[in-house]
Every structure is written in structure tokens, then in C-alpha cells.
Structure 1
Amino acid sequence: MPDISDHDLPAPVLDRDGTKHKRDLAGACAAHAVHDGFTDLLYALLPVWQAEFGLSYAGLALIRVLYYGTMGALQVPGGRLVERISARAALALATLIAAGGYAVTLAPGGLPVLGLGLAIAGIGSSIQHPRASLLVTQAFGDRARGPLGVYNFAGDLGKAVLPALVALLLPLLSWRPVVGLVAALGVIAAGCLFVLIPGGNAAVPASAASARSGSRTDPDAGRGFALLLAIGALDTAPRMGFLLFLPFMIRDAGGGGGAVGTGLALLFVGGALGKGCCGWLGQRIGVIAGVAATETATALLMLASLLLPLPAMLVLLPLLGIVLNGTSSMLYGTVPELAPRGDTGRAFALFYTGVIVTGGAAPVAYGAIADAAGRLAGVGASALTAASIVPLVLALRPALARPRRP
């Protein structure tokens, strides 16, 4: 989830001991962890579904996009739909819908029912990101940047924990009981969110959360933002492609379900660290040089993972996670600088929606390449996509060099 710029937001009226705002942040973080975990635990289930339903790599990617693409496409309308509902009601409802989607996958009917359930779960998760980030922004006002960083990190913790837990349970249970436990966890989490988040967190119009200072003034700023959006989409694509293939790479290298869970956890933990490390890197050497460095490293480490034995691959995965996920922190921080007409709130919504939709669609293309030419070609295409970002980010330099509006 990208940060929302906190310029020009009103200072919050803090309660005497700060308890309400701490509960707001804790609730938003819990929702983010659960929903990001729900999204990425699918990677642990893909090999099982491939064996049961006889799916190709492209078919697996299509199954994945039913959740991921639905979540991305409905983010903006989902946020608008619940803008008049309290934060605790909206986030509890979102979590119940996501849990209900997983419960639907357990019903008889085979692959169509599985796809329907994942689409319903994606609808629930489409509400979480815009509503939870707005909750944190409302709670902390012009001091929201730090709390939003904590919120972002919580999502990565969910990505690290839930996929690993599912992968560890699959050797002991069939996938249906495991998914049933996931649905039950969602119901429990929804109840906890309703209790944890204080009432009275009414939404505000999106325009009130828009930051209009620091934007570019020239008429070509929209083209700079369009280029940034393309870079963000391409940055997401190889990450999703590599995650599609990673469980199978580990399995073919001799690893079982435990190794798959460990590998996913190592990659996601590295990704969480990358958000902080690469943000610092961007501050030290600049966005252009920082993105060029991380994308080059991503391409090289992806290719190296194909050649290494399992122990060395597992050692490599945290490093790959740092550069694979960390680039996004530098790109998100650039959105306010290139926001068309200074409308930072809308710019973030467009950027995040584009990134999610591309992330859902890209594995379909990589899966089709792997089906036609082998998994080596699929991973190679992912690495080539990462490398292609380098000339694009160099082309972004003129837009970032233009003066900002006072």
C-alpha cells in the first residue's frame, strides 16, 4: 500500500492519552496483515490446485487473478462504497466478505466454484486498503507518515506469516480443511476488528485527504505521472511472475511443503526489510539511481536463483526480496511530486489500482510463456521485465528535475 502524503492535512485532535489513535492504528495494521496474508497465501495453494484440477501455469495465473485482479479493479469504487460507513464497520465487513469467499471455495462444484469464491474474497480485500489507510490518515493528520509506514509494514508481516502457515499445514491436512481454517481466522479477525477499532471514525471526502503542495506546475506533469505509473506497473509484474514459479522451483530442487513455506517466508521477510532499506537508498543516492540499482539486482538475482541448489537458493531469497519489493517504496514516494494538478489522493488511487491490476494480469502472460517454452523462459521473462525498467526510469529524470509549486 503506498503512503498517503500528509501535507496540508489538519492536525488531529488527540485524545488525552492517545489510546483511540493507537487503537485506530492497531486495527488498520491488523486488517492489513490479515488481507495481505489472505492474498498471498494463494501461492502456497497453487501446486495443490494444479495437481487436483490439472491446471497449466497460465491456468494457475488466471485463478490467481480472480482474487488479485478483482481486488485491484474494485479498490476505488470499493472505497467510495463504504466512505459513509464507520471504519470499524467497513473493515469488519471487508474481512467477513473475504472470509466468506474462502468459505465458498469449499462448496462442491470444482473449479468454477473455486474461482467464484476467490473473486468474492477479492471484493472484500478491495475495501481494506483505501479504508484502512484513510483511518490512519484521519487519526494522525499531519503526523500520519510514520504511522502509515507501520501500517505498510504490517501488510508484509501478514504476507510472511499466513503463506508459511498454510504451506506448513498442507502436508498434514488436505487443502479444504486448511482453507476452512483460513475462513475461520477471517471471521475471528472481523470480530476482533469491530471490538478493537473505536466507533465514530466517519469517512471524509477523498479530496480532504489530497495533498496539493509540492506538485509539479508544468503542463507536461501528467506525462511524467503516466511514465511513473508505467514504471510502477512493470515493477510489480516480475514480482508476481517470480512468486508464481517459486513454489515449483523449490519443489523441483528437492524441497517439500516445509521448504516452500520457508522460501516464501524468506522472500516476504526480505520484501518487508526492503521497504525500509530501499527507501533509505533512494534518499541517499536519489530515486533514479536507486531504482536502476534495485531493478538491475532483481534481474540478476532472479536468474541466479535458477542455477543454484536449494540451500543456496534459500539463502538468496531474502536478498532478492529486498530488491524485488523495496523498489516500490521509492516509487510511491515520488507520486506526490508528479501528481497531476496536485491531486495526490487521486494520484495514489490511480497508481495503486494500476499496480494491482497489472500484478494480477502479468502472471497470466508469464504463465503462458512457461507453458510454451518452459519455466526457465518464464523466469527469464520476469527478469527481462525488471531490466527494462532501467531505461524508463532514466527517462523520468527530466520530470523530477522540474521545479515544484511553492
Structure 2
Amino acid sequence: MFSIFLILVPLAASRRGIMPGMVSIASPNTASDKPLPQAHTPMPAEARRSLLAASVAHAVHDGMTDLIYVLLPLWQSQFGLSLAFTGAMRGLYAACMAGFQVPATRLARRWGRPALLVGGTVLVALAYLVAGLSGALPVVCGALLLGGLGASTQHPLASALVADAYAGHRVQARRALASYNFAGDLGKTAVPAGVGALLMWLSWQHSLIAVGLLGLGAAAGLAWLLRAPPLQGAAADGGPAQPAPLPQQALVPPPTWGFAALAATGVVDSGTRMGFLTFLPFVLSAKGAGAAGTGLALGLLFVGGALGKLLCAVLERHLGLLRTVWLTEGATALCIVGTLLLPWWGALALMPLLGLMLNGTSSVLYGCVPDLVPPEGRDRAFALYYTATIGAGAIAPSLFGWLGDQWGVAQAMQAVAAFVLLTLPLTWVVRQALAGQGRD
């Protein structure tokens, strides 16, 4: 409930047009810097309802997904797992979530986005309930697969839901997508921190049961918000608005080299982020942090990540894509090294800055997707982008876990810091593609 409450603040601000820092990529050299008349056009209630539903789904799904980072050290200790197997457990969830992104968009054309979003939320909630009620390792692994399957519906369908609801209002659409994106970080902040507090009094099994019940409540809320198909504007004759059809052209992958470079950049960025988050709890544990301390550190990290979504949008407008990404990724590498060298209290103090840099880049990259593909291909483009980036997040924990088993956790984290620097040349290619379209 706390995460849902926090979502209302950015949504209200977005509705009034008072959060320009949340607007996605816009070129400082184009007319988009000037206020457009449509920026203050009141949006239909159906559009705002779609944005609220998508934001709630994003917050709940991302919160329950990133909760796994708090649970990994507990599972490793209880079941006596290697670091590679522990990373593979995170990979089970991420791989299933990545692999069903594109199929989810196809199923939505048959059953509708509302049914898929609600059903996916129910599956994630049931996964946590099953894991909590059983507590056995094989059941936990199966629950991770089930949870990843349910989570695969959220990113492509909720993004497209918002984009369609605000179609024809470019400035409002960018603000709406930024609000939706920001809501995910609020969930990442609230759920892991809340469960970290619960672990002070409850076992991890009982904590997962509580999370599962929260997920079922969120699914009921989504069913109410999406009780009718999302509407797009009003009918030309003044009658009731009709459901916006899903364009069939979206089934065609976007064949642009700029998008391919963007996806590759997202793969490196996501792999770095997932690899770091997987082993951060082990680094903190070695410094003396318990489960509650790890939950607090992750909460601070995600608070910084949420602020990074806002700050990096402002930085990109003033510095451009290339300088912004180079700044954030370079600072990410330095902060990872700092986390290894500093004592517990120093690492804890570094978490907000590290989160800002670690997560801010993803917001800048995500905002480039609509600029690199034609409008009719955006639904498919979002699904492909998330498939690539989440797939990298599935592979990275196992890869860096193997390195941790061979060299040690500290050396694996140093490899993460070096890996993030691969984004620098890839970002230059993306910038050239944007410049060719007059967008950077």
C-alpha cells in the first residue's frame, strides 16, 4: 500500500505538467525545448486511469522482482548453495521473464492487455505464496519460474497501454511514460525495504506469504482499474470512446542499426546492474550487515535510482546523450569500487549516489526507444528491448557468480565495474543514429 500511495505523487504532478525533469529524451537543439500547446491539454479520465493502472502494476511487479536480492543470502545460507547456483536462482526468474516478453504481446492481441496484466500479477503473487508455504528448494526454484512467467506481462503491455492512452499528445505521452517508469523505482524502494523490516520479526517464509497476499490485493486493484478496455480519446461523433486497436505492423521487428546499438547498450547496462545487485548483499554481509541492514541498503540504493530517473533526464537535456551516459557509467564503475573499499557505514552512505548513477542510465536509454523506431513498431520494439535487457539480467548473475566462485566476490565485483565501461563506445553509435534523425 505504501508503494501505491507514493505513485500518486508523480501521477498528480504529471497530470498538472509540473515535472518537466521527468520528460524522456528531448534534443536541446530542437523545437521540442519550447512549450507546446498540447503540453497543458487536459487528458481524458480514461487515459489517467490507464496511467494509474500501469504505474501500480510497474511498482508492484518491480518491487516483488527486486525483493529476490534480499532473499538470496538467506537461501544460500539455509540451503548451502554456491554463488553460481545462487546467481542462477535469480537467473531463473529473469530468464523466464525475458523469454515471454514477446509472446505476452501476442497473447494480449487475443485476450486483451487488461486480462494479461491482471493474470500476470496473480501468477507472481501465487509464486511467492507457494514458495513461502513450502520452503523447499525445488519448490522455490519452480516458484521463481512461475513468478518470471507472470512478470513477463508487465513491461511491454503496461508501456504500450500508456503510449496508446496518450497517443496524439506527444509531450503528455513522454511525461506519462516517465511517471510510469518512475513508479517502478518506488516499488523497488518500498517492497525490499518493507520485507527487510519484516525479516526482523518473521521468517522469510512468512514474509513471502505476506508479499503474496499484497500481490493478490494489487491484482484485484488492477482488475478494478482495468474493468473496461482502455480507451483512447473520444469518438468523432461525440459518442463513447472506442477501444484503441493494436496495430498489426507492431509484429514486425524494427530493422534499424540504431535500435540494435541501443539494445546492445541496454544489455551491458542491465547485465552490470543485475550482476552488481546480485552480489551486493554478500559484500554487505561480509562488512557486518544483517538482513535488515541489507534491506536498508537496497532501499537507499533504489531511492537513489528513482531520483536518477529524474536527474538524468535533466542532465541529458543539457549535456546530451553521450556525455550523460559516459558520466553515469563512469561514476557507476567508481562507486562499485568504492563499495568494496569502504567500511559498512561508508558503503551505506554511498548507496543513494550509486543508485542514482546505476539506474539513471537505464532511464535515458529507455527513453530513446520511441525515437529510433517508427510509431507502428513501438509495441514490438518495447518487447524486444525488454527481452534483450532482461535476458542479460538473467545471464549476468550466473556468469558473475561463476567468477565469484573462482576468484572471490570482490574480484567478481571488480569485473562488473570493468564490464560497465563497454557502454561507452556503444553509446557513441546510438548518438550517431539519433543525430542522423535530427534528434540529438
TM-score for both structures, normalised by structure 1: 0.88
- Give the residue type in structure 1 aligned to 2:194: L
User: For residues 378-397 of structure 1, what are the structure 2 equivalents within 5 Å?
Assistant: 378-397=412-431
| Candidates 124, 132, 156, aligned match of 1:130 | 156
Distance 1:22 1:396, change over 3 A: closer
Residue identity in the other structure for 1:275: K
Of 230, 240, 248, 2:274 maps to: 240
How many residues matched?
389
Amino acid at match of 1:26: L
Q: Tell me how far apart the structure 2 counterparts of residues 36 and 315 of structure 1 sit (CA, whole Å).
A: 24
Aligned AA (1:101): A
Match of 1:218 in 2: none
Rate the CA distance shift 1:367–1:181 in 2: closer, same or farther, 3 A.
Answer: same
Deviation track 1:186-231 (CA, whole Å, cap 9, x = no partner) reads 1111112112334133563244779xxxx9xxxxx73333222111
1:205 is the counterpart of 2:231: no
Paired position in structure 2 for 1:250: 284
Q: 8 Å contact 1:104–1:116 — kept in the other structure?
A: no
Structure 2 counterpart of 1:59: 85
Tell whether the 8 Å contact from 1:241 to 1:382 is kept in structure 2 after alignment: yes
Match status 1:89 vs 2:115: yes
Distance 2:409 2:247 in 1: 43
Distance in 1 (alpha carbons) for counterparts of 2:378 and 2:413? 35
The answer as to whether partners of 2:337 and 2:414 remain within 8 angstroms in 1 is: yes
Secondary structure at 1:142's aligned position in 2? coil
Structure-2 separation of matches of 1:95 and 1:162: 15
Equivalent-residue separation in structure 2 for 1:206 and 1:224 (angstroms): 22
In structure 2, C-alpha distance between the alignment counterparts of 1:253 and 1:67, rounded to whole Å: 28
Match of 2:52 among 19, 22, 26: 26
Matched, 1:99 2:125: yes
1:85-164 alignment to 2 at 5 Å? 85-106=111-132, 108=134, 110-143=136-169, 144-164=173-193
1:194 to 2:223 alignment: yes
What amino acid is the match of 2:410?
L
CA 1:108–1:312: 2 relative to 1, 3 Å: closer
* CA displacement at 1:72 relative to structure 2: 1.2
Alignment match, 1:304: 338
Provide the rounded CA distance (Å) in 2 between the counterparts of 1:129 and 1:390.
Answer: 26
The reply to whether residue 272 of structure 1 matches residue 301 of structure 2 is no
**Deviations along 1:35-61, whole A, 9 cap, x unmatched?**
111100011111110011111111111
Task: Tell me by how many angstroms 1:149 deviates.
Answer: 1.2
Q: Does the 8 Å contact 2:132/2:207 carry over to 1?
A: no
**Cα deviations by residue, 1:308-343 (Å, 9 ceiling, x for unpaired):** 111211111111111101011222233334338983
* Residues 340-349 or 41-50, more deviating: 340-349
Please state how far the C-alpha of 1:179 moved relative to its aligned partner. Answer: 0.8
Distance 1:134 1:381 in 2: 35
For residues 352-406 of structure 1, what are the alpha-carbon distances to aligned partners after superposition, in whole Å with 9 as ceiling and x for unaligned?
A: 210010011111111111111011111101100112222332344443332459x
Counterpart-to-counterpart distance in 2, 1:140 and 1:301: 38
CA contact (8 A) 2:87 2:398 kept: yes
Which position in structure 1 is the counterpart of 2:402? Answer: 368
Structure 2 residue aligned with 1:328, among 362, 370, 383? 362
Calculate percent identity across the aligned residue pairs.
44
Question: Structure 1 pair 203/113, CA: closer, same or farther in 2 (3 Å)?
Answer: farther
Q: Secondary structure at the match of 2:332?
A: helix
Residues 1:183 and 2:183 are matched in the alignment: no
Segment drifting more, 328-337 vs 391-400: 391-400
Counterpart Cα distance in 1 of 2:375 and 2:227: 35
| Structure-2 separation of matches of 1:97 and 1:65 | 18
Cα distance change, pair 222–340 in 1 and its aligned pair in 2 (3 A):
farther
In structure 2, distance between residues paired with 1:38 and 1:146 = 25
Q: 1:265: how far off? A: 0.5
Report how far residue 87 of structure 1 moved. Answer: 4.1
Work out whether 1:295 is the aligned partner of 2:329: yes
CA distance 1:109–1:64, shift in 2 (3 Å): same
Structure 1 counterpart of 2:404, one-letter code = A
The whole-number CA distance in structure 1 between the counterparts of 2:287 and 2:360 is 27
Q: Is the 8 A contact 2:185 2:305 kept in 1?
A: yes
CA 348–175 in structure 1, closer or farther in 2 if over 3 Å, else same: same
SS in 1 for 2:229: coil
Distance 2:49 2:377 in 1: 29
Distance 2:53 2:368 in 1: 27
**AA paired with 1:65?**
G
Contact 1:20 1:198 (8 Å CA) reproduced: no
Match of 2:198 among 155, 169, 176: 169
Q: Please report the TM-score for the alignment, with normalisation by the length of structure 2.
A: 0.82
Note closer, same or farther for the CA distance 1:288–1:31 as it changes in structure 2 (3 Å cut).
same
**Structure 1 contact 5–336 (Cα < 8 Å) conserved:** no
RMSD of aligned residue pairs (Cα, Å): 2.8
Judge conservation of contact 1:75–1:353 (CA < 8 Å) in 2.
Answer: yes
Structure 1: distance between partners of 2:136 and 2:227: 41
Cα deviations by residue, 1:134-177 (Å, 9 ceiling, x for unpaired)? 22223222232211111111111110010111111123111111
- Matched with 2:256 is 222
What is the aligned partner in structure 1 of residue 17 from structure 2? Answer: none
- Assess, with a 3 A threshold, how the Cα gap between structure 1 residues 162 and 206 changes in structure 2: closer, same or farther: farther
Output the amino acid matched with 1:350: L
